[in-house]
């Protein structure tokens, strides 16, 4: 297989009106990645060296999205929507370059995997001109049936055209297929539009190839692999299937998920063995976690790197750029953004650390914040190794706390603190005996007068 060149042609021109969205259907996301990008990943994993994506609705938006997740992919516009064969031929330029195998796929089937595609390609390597991917279901109503005879596929029959015997067939068309590059354009050009809709149907190439004496076969994939997305309910169903697959994969690779059904991964989440993930944790894109970490309940993590044996949460938020080094701790109700928390440092509770470095073994007290933004620009806070920042302190960036520095609780620090120095940044306390009672009486009297006036108005 590795010796055979392969082009994937991915049809992504549909408007997706049932999604009821201004966003092109195939750009709706599964696990933080557009549906069509999942299809491209599967094709590439199956050995496609080139990708041709046929677009239509929202063409410019599609081009921009494709450039992000597949910079090498080519896009081709289907100007008119005249059927699936017509859509494939929009990529004629790419198909004509002489690939051994052509994979025809759909941008709204995000759960297709490389194994199913490789099986279809294998049939081409064994001599078939066309290999159609199908699935079996005990409830085939509404699906096109794959009609076989003598181990060969002789037709794809739409349900409305099926005989009574054919309606009982449970082997159904998934829509995707592999076509030998040597025959692809000849077969596609032979497709006509003499049907009720006047459209060019890709499925017709099965009978066309058979009539030319070419071998056509069907391969079987799971129902999940073939699941197409037409509305948001099906999008949620596909998300659930994807998440279940990923959770199973994580657990089999040595990750403990205490309540698997409550943990949500992104398409690129990396998580090492012996990590423990408590319930209700959400991983956004760009998260890398080394082994032995503990991610406690109700944490939200995105764009973060977590080293070995770190402790995060519960109720922690790690935003993009958070970089936790070995044995660092970020505790409950803390937020870290664009900051390095070095080895053994502790940010235990009720704290915001943004645009900062917290040195090794430093301790950040409850309620501490780095004041990193003045409404126009971001500024950096550097906290040295072994520093201690007392509770309820505000560090007004740009500022640095030296190695071993000590910040008294309740301080507002606006100037840098040298190594091993103690810094206070708060007003001196003043106590006035009896003043508390006087204030209470004054406030009570004012409240009573206000209530009396309000009653008179009514």
> Binding site residues for acetyl-CoA, as ranges?
366, 372-373, 391, 409, 426
Residue 96: phi, psi to the nearest 5? -75, 0
Rounded Cα distance between 243 and 105, Å, is 22
Q: Is residue 92 exposed (0-12), middle (13-18) or buried (19+ Cβ within 10 Å)?
A: middle
Q: Which residue in the block uniquely carries the two structure tokens 């349900």?
A: 159
Both tokens assigned to 327: 């044995």
> CA of 202: how far to CAs of 36, 175, 176, 182, in Å?
20, 9, 10, 17
User: Residues annotated as binding site for Mg(2+)?
Assistant: 108, 230
Both tokens assigned to 164: 């009574």
- Say if residues 200 and 82 touch (Cβ distance below 8 Å): yes
User: Residues annotated as binding site?
Assistant: 11-14, 25, 78, 83-84, 108, 144, 158, 173, 230, 319, 337, 352, 363, 366, 372-373, 391, 409, 426
- Say if residues 362 and 388 touch (Cβ distance below 8 Å): yes
- Say if residues 216 and 152 touch (Cβ distance below 8 Å): yes
Nearest to 55 by CA among 96, 24, 23, 101: 24
Please indicate whether residue 300 is annotated as part of the active site: no
Count how many residues are written for the chain. Answer: 458
Say how many C-beta atoms besides its own lie within 10 A of residue 156's C-beta: 25
In this structure, the dihedral spanned by the alpha carbons of residues 234, 238, 240 and 243, taken in order and rounded to 10 degrees, is: -160
Which of 28, 57, 183, 349 is the catalytic position?
349
- Say if residues 319 and 301 touch (Cβ distance below 8 Å): no
Output 447-450 pairs: Cβ under 8 A, ≥24 positions apart. Answer: none
Say how many C-beta atoms besides its own lie within 10 A of residue 111's C-beta: 24
The catalytic residues are: 349
């Amino acid at each position: 297989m590795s010796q055979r060149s392969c082009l994937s042609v991915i049809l992504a021109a549909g408007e997706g009106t049932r999604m009821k969205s201004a966003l092109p259907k195939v750009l709706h996301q599964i696990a933080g990645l557009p549906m069509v990008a999942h299809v491209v990943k599967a094709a590439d994993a199956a050995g496609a060296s080139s990708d041709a994506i046929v677009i239509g609705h929202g063409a410019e938006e599609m081009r921009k999205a494709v450039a992000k997740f597949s910079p090498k992919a080519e896009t081709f516009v289907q100007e008119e929507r005249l059927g699936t064969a017509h859509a494939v031929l929009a990529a004629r330029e790419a198909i004509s370059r002489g690939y051994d195998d052509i994979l025809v796929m759909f941008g709204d089937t995000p759960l297709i995997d490389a194994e199913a595609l490789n099986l279809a390609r294998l049939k081409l390597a064994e001599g078939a001109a066309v290999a159609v991917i199908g699935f079996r279901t005990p409830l085939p109503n509404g699906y096109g049936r794959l009609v076989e005879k003598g181990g060969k596929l002789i037709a794809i029959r739409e349900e409305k055209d099926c005989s009574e015997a054919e309606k009982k067939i449970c082997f159904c068309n998934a829509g995707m297929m592999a076509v030998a590059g040597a025959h692809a354009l000849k077969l596609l050009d032979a497709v006509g539009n003499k049907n009720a809709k006047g459209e060019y149907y890709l499925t017709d190439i099965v009978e066309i190839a058979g009539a030319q004496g070419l071998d056509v076969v069907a391969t079987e994939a799971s129902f999940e692999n073939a699941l197409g997305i037409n509305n948001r309910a099906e999008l949620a169903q596909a998300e659930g299937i994807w998440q279940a697959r990923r959770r199973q994969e994580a657990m089999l690779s040595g990750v403990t998920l205490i309540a698997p059904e409550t943990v949500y991964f992104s398409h690129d989440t990396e998580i090492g063995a012996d990590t423990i993930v408590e319930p209700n944790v959400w991983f956004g894109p760009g998260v890398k976690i080394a082994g032995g970490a503990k991610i406690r309940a109700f944490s939200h993590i995105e764009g973060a790197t977590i080293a070995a044996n770190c402790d995060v949460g519960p109720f922690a938020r790690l935003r993009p750029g958070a970089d936790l080094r070995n044995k660092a701790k970020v505790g409950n109700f803390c937020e870290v953004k664009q900051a390095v928390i070095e080895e053994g440092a502790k940010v235990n509770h009720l704290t915001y650390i943004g645009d900062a470095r917290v040195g090794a073994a430093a301790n950040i007290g409850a309620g501490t914040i780095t004041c990193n933004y003045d409404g126009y620009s971001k500024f950096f806070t550097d906290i040295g190794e072994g520093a201690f920042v007392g509770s309820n302190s505000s560090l007004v960036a740009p500022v640095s706390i030296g190695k071993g520095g000590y910040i008294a609780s309740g301080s507002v620090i606006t100037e840098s603190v040298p190594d091993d120095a103690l810094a206070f940044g708060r007003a001196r306390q003043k106590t006035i005996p009896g003043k508390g009672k006087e204030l209470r009486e004054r406030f009570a009297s004012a409240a009573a007068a206000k209530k009396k006036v309000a009653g008179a108005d009514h």
